[in-house]
């Protein structure tokens, strides 16, 4: 008796990526794409309607971000198997996704090589996390994360805004901003604003 194919929902706001995934999956007799979604809200609605075996979920999506969509899907179905699709290899985004309920974390740059393995691994009840991402998670797991306010300040700094303007926008003193930046530098192990922004972008703490 032939087993039923693994039913897959693809949620990504880029049509070309969804088409690319369809092309990778099409030749595989044990896999079947049953639906697509172009934003997080569509993904949640499509999941509720179709109840796929695997959901491939982009993190950066309009209307409803991927992390929130993952949480809502897990509320609907605690055993839902979700694999994150992302361009960000950083440990912070990965940890957020896993805490929200994702079972796998797949970099879009490695889709062709690892997509099929990730789908079958997660469908089998095991997690799939690329070795380099897992290493980053382990490397930073004992570190104190940035606070919401520190992330807010660093996001404004990444936009090229001087301390005085950051202070004005947040309605705090310039000295307060400087104090926060010193703490940010210490937590990230850097010595200046440029290094802080570069490190935060690489780790997925902030996004441009």
Q: HSE on the CB side for 126, CA within 13 Å?
A: 8
The predicted pLDDT at position 1 comes to 43
* CATH 1.10.10.10-classified regions of the chain: 148-203
The predicted pLDDT at position 32 comes to 96
| Nearest residue to 128 via CA among 96, 61, 79, 81 | 81
pLDDT in tens, 80-94: 999 999 887 788 888
* CATH 3.40.50.2300-classified regions of the chain: 6-140
Which of the 8 DSSP states describes residue 109? G
pLDDT in tens, 95-116: 999 999 999 999 998 888 799 9
Chain mean position to CA 188: 20
pTM of the complete model: 0.82
The domain made up of 148-203 is a member of CATH 3.90.1150.10:
no
CA-to-CA distance for 23 and 16, rounded, in angstroms?
10
CATH of the domain spanning 6-140: 3.40.50.2300
> For residue 146, what are its two tokens?
């940035």
């Amino acid at each position: 008796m032939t087993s039923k194919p693994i039913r897959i929902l693809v949620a990504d706001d880029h049509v070309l990526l969804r088409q690319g995934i369809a092309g990778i999956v099409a030749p595989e007799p044990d896999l079947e794409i049953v639906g697509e979604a172009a934003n997080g809200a569509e993904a949640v609605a499509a999941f509720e309607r179709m109840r796929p075996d695997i959901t491939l979920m982009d993190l950066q999506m309009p209307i409803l971000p991927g992390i929130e969509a993952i949480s809502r899907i897990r509320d609907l179905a605690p055993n839902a198997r979700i694999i994150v699709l992302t361009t960000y290899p950083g440990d912070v985004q990965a940890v957020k996704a896993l805490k929200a309920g994702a079972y796998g974390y797949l970099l879009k740059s490695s889709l062709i090589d690892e997509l099929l393995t990730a789908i079958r691994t997660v469908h089998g009840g095991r997690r799939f996390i690329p070795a380099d991402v897992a290493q980053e998670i382990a490397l930073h797991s004992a570190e104190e994360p940035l606070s919401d306010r520190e992330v807010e300040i660093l996001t404004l700094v990444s936009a090229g805004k001087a301390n005085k303007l950051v202070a004005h926008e947040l309605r705090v003193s310039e000295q307060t901003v400087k104090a926060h930046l010193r703490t940010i530098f210490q937590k990230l192990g850097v010595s200046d604003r440029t290094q802080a922004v570069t490190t935060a972008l690489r780790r997925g703490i902030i996004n441009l």
